[in-house]
Amino acid sequence: MDSLIQLSYFVAAALFILGLKRMSSPVTARGGIVWAGAGMVVATLITFLWPQMHNFGLMTAAIAIGGGLAWYSGKKVAMTDMPQMIAIYNGMGGGAAAAIAAVELLGGEFHSRTFQVLAVVGALIGSVAFSGSMVAFAKLQGLMKKSFVFPGQQIFNLLIFGGALVIGFLLMGADHPGSSGILVFFGLALLFGVLMTLPIGGADMPVVISLYNALTGLAVAFEGFVLGNAAMIIAGTVVGSAGTLLTQLMAKAMNRSLSNVLFSGFGSAAGTSAEAGSQGVMKEIDATDAAVMMAYADKVIIVPGYGMAVAQAQHKVWELAQLLEERGVSVKFAIHPVAGRMPGHMNVLLAEAGVPYDKIYDLEEINNEFPQADVALVIGANDVVNPVARSNPDSPIYGMPILDVDKAKNVICVKRGKGKGFSGVENELFFRDNTRMLYGDGQEVASKLINEIKQL
């Protein structure tokens, strides 16, 4: 029996790795998640045969409750809300790892001191990932609007963390750790996760979620050592290292370092320093002229931003693109790495509208095509097309890679109002000679453009 269980875990671990590998290419990605899912089913079913277990009724009920709720919420959630859903599921994983550690510590039967140490470390990481992810969820869901900052915050956080560490060390050394000590330890660890996440702004949240994802993986691996479960060790470690790499890639795409994200509230430092006051005037255009401009162009590049997704305009925009293509216009979509709420999020939103992924181009792929484009249509994007990032070293967004939209022959910016972008920086693009502003809600504007083009 034991070798059957071990064999199943081995198969599951192999399926996880193969699944993740397939998920790293858009062509095979769909199959990847199915493979990994099959591995999960095999591992879960075989675990019912684990020797010397009881409480099967409770176990089945818990799986039904947790699985049912997650199934329902996962099916229902809108694509725009995907980041916070990932955060909450990830937090659950961290919480589960912490719960395993709690049960093991309360039981107090460890085969060796090493396992006890790993259990405590995994508990700490898992708890932080759990409560931190919940705060990240609340922030992205809009339940918690403001960044929570107070003087001496970092020192206070450090004290809480230090307290958790000290009690953690005591737990590692104790032969039969007392339940009150265990309780205080988990309390402090959970509190630290909350405090650490509170001051981080919404724009940086994806990086933080990715980091907690990696941490949960690590916690799972550590608890896997404690339980002697190879599938948990391998899956957890793979996610731990893959998640760390993914976190770095995301931070790099946002032009921030990880420590910068974790230890400085965004926006608070980015003062409105040395802004050149009047940079000229914004020139308006109406939908009719914009439609003519695009319909008779050879090449149009559409640059969507999160504003488009908020306006739920992606379907209309894709309809517009198809209409243009029927007239022989070459249409491409240019996506900035941080468009949307997390890297790659905009691709998901466009895919939802039915845009094929080979019409969508990354920043490096498309940037040298802007000079040949007759029209660049910017919808709901702002900071990621601001030329200030190239030219003005005083700007808070200086150095961030941007889409060189301003190099197109004509730029049409669809915008709801005259406000600034997320970073609060004035967008120089809007004042350029080749830029025209088209005011209105993204979906309405797209519908108007479609109607105008149909009448041509």
Partner 1 sequence: MIEGFTALYIFMLAGFTGYEVISRVPVILHTPLMSGSNFVHGIVLVGAMVALGQADTTLERVIGFIGVILGAGNAVGGYVVTERMLEMFKSSKGAR
Options 132, 168, 199, 240; binder of partner 1; rule CB under 8 A = 240
Q: How far is the CB of 102 from partner 1 (least distance, A)?
A: 5
Q: By CB under 8 A, which span of 149-157, 190-198, 244-252, 261-269 interacts with partner 1?
A: 244-252
Closer residue to partner 1 (CB): 186 or 422? 186
Q: Could you tell me the two tokens for 306?
A: 């999160």
Asked if 322 is part of the footprint of partner 1 (rule: CB under 8 A), the reply reads no
Annotated active-site residue in 204, 383, 404, 406: 383
Helix 153-173 crosses helix 113-140 at what angle (to 10 degrees)? 150
Q: CA dist 380 to 140, 251, 323, 439, Å?
A: 19, 22, 21, 11
- State which of positions 190-209 bind partner 1 (CB under 8 A): 209
Options 165, 170, 230, 282; binder of partner 1; rule CB under 8 A = 230
Contacts of 72 (CB under 8 A, 6+ apart): none
Q: By CB under 8 A, which span of 26-34, 297-305, 416-424, 427-435 interacts with partner 1?
A: 26-34
Asked if 74 is part of the footprint of partner 1 (rule: CB under 8 A), the reply reads yes
Q: By CB under 8 A, which span of 28-36, 284-292, 392-400, 405-413 interacts with partner 1?
A: 28-36
Tokens 């450090």 -> residue: 158
The binding track of 356-395 with respect to partner 1, each residue x by CB under 8 A or -, is: xxxxx-x---------------------------------
Indicate the residue type of 238: V
- State which of positions 161-190 bind partner 1 (CB under 8 A): 179
Q: By CB under 8 A, which span of 85-93, 281-289, 372-380, 381-389 interacts with partner 1?
A: 85-93
Q: How far is the CB of 1 from partner 1 (least distance, A)?
A: 14
**Residue 436 forms beta bridges with which residues?**
412
Indicate the residue type of 300: V
By CB atoms closer than 10 A (0-12, 13-18, 19+), residue 137 is: buried
Least Cα distance to 132 among 199, 188, 197 occurs for 197
**Calpha distance 129→8 (Å, rounded):** 28
Closer residue to partner 1 (CB): 80 or 410? 80
Do residues 127 and 186 lie in contact, with contact meaning Cβ atoms separated by under 8 Å? yes
Closer residue to partner 1 (CB): 93 or 199? 93
Active site residue 204: no
Do residues 247 and 294 lie in contact, with contact meaning Cβ atoms separated by under 8 Å? no
Do residues 80 and 308 lie in contact, with contact meaning Cβ atoms separated by under 8 Å? no
Asked if 16 is part of the footprint of partner 1 (rule: CB under 8 A), the reply reads yes
What is the rounded end-to-end Cα distance, in angstroms, of the chain?
Answer: 74
Options 7, 26, 158, 271; binder of partner 1; rule CB under 8 A = 26
Asked if 21 is part of the footprint of partner 1 (rule: CB under 8 A), the reply reads yes
Kindly state the number of chain residues that form the binding site for partner 1, as judged by CB under 8 A. 121
**Residue 412 forms beta bridges with which residues?**
377, 436
Tokens 């997320």 -> residue: 422
Asked if 159 is part of the footprint of partner 1 (rule: CB under 8 A), the reply reads no
Residue 360, phi then psi, degrees to nearest 5: -105, 130
DSSP-based three-state secondary structure for 360: strand
User: What is the tally of helices (H) and strands (E) in the chain?
Assistant: 17, 6
Closer residue to partner 1 (CB): 213 or 443? 213
Asked if 113 is part of the footprint of partner 1 (rule: CB under 8 A), the reply reads no
Asked if 158 is part of the footprint of partner 1 (rule: CB under 8 A), the reply reads no
DSSP-based three-state secondary structure for 267: coil
Options 4, 7, 73, 176; binder of partner 1; rule CB under 8 A = 73
Options 193, 217, 307, 442; binder of partner 1; rule CB under 8 A = 217
Q: How far is the CB of 328 from partner 1 (least distance, A)?
A: 16
Q: By CB under 8 A, which span of 135-143, 219-227, 254-262, 444-452 interacts with partner 1?
A: 219-227
Q: Among the residues of 174-229, which ranges form H helices?
A: 179-197, 205-227
Q: By CB under 8 A, which span of 83-91, 144-152, 298-306, 399-407 interacts with partner 1?
A: 83-91
DSSP classification of residue 284? B
- State which of positions 93-112 bind partner 1 (CB under 8 A): 93, 95-100, 102-104, 106-107, 111-112
Closer residue to partner 1 (CB): 103 or 276? 103
Q: How far is the CB of 354 from partner 1 (least distance, A)?
A: 7
Do residues 98 and 123 lie in contact, with contact meaning Cβ atoms separated by under 8 Å? yes
- State which of positions 33-52 bind partner 1 (CB under 8 A): 33-34, 36-37, 40, 43-44, 47-48, 50, 52
Question: Please, what is the Cα angle at 209 between 166 and 42, to 5 degrees?
Answer: 95
Asked if 242 is part of the footprint of partner 1 (rule: CB under 8 A), the reply reads yes
The Cβ of residue 89 has, within 10 Å, a number of other Cβ atoms equal to: 16
**Which active-site residues does the annotation give?**
383
